[in-house]
Amino acid sequence: MPSADALAHAESLIRTVPDYPEPGVLFRDITPLLADAGALRAVIDALIEPFDGGFDVVAGVEARGFLLAGAAATVAGVGMVPVRKAGKLPRPAASVSYALEYGRATIEVHDDLAPGTRVLLVDDVLATGGTLAAAHELFAELGVVVVGTAVLMELEALGGRALVHDVHTVFTA
């Protein structure tokens, strides 16, 4: 487990950008954290620590979840599976549509994992929970077992935990 100082430093690197991508939104920019090797390693260790040895592959949700999932998979010595937005995979095997605040979205995944494979699902932010809940549904459809969900940051005021109950978070805002 990374030290409290290392995690405090990592958290200090996350910038809040007001009114992006639209007025009223506080965007959490993790780019400075990703550029700091020590901070990145600290958050990756914190993301996977509760699940250590209990998963066969890490799944990352597009797009910033890919970055964290790829690093987590490397540290854990396992593979990584991308959960993509609709139309980005050459041979999607499963897709799930879900509600957004203003409309609907769809995510897809290949069927490269054998039924029963244990997956750690990783994303950057838990906001309203729709995307992560849809990812859980995707893997269930394929017979893959999501053994845990880990996010870098939970935006508590948006209530995403109500849809994705058991989520390990490194930071909250």
Query: How many whole angstroms separate alpha carbon 60 and alpha carbon 73?
Result: 10
Q: Please tell me which residue in 64, 84, 108, 154 is annotated as part of the active site.
A: 64
Strand partners, 148: 120
Q: Please tell me which residue in 22, 91, 101, 104 is annotated as part of the active site.
A: 101
Q: Is 57 helix (H, G, I), strand (E, B) or coil?
A: strand
Task: Clarify whether 64 is annotated catalytic.
Answer: yes
How far from chain centre, in Å, is Cα 168? 10
N- to C-terminal Cα separation, the chain: 21
How far from chain centre, in Å, is Cα 4? 22
Listed in sequence order, the residues at least 6 apart from 39 whose beta carbon sits closer than 8 Å to its beta carbon are 6, 9, 10, 13, 33
Q: What is the set of active-site residues?
A: 64, 101
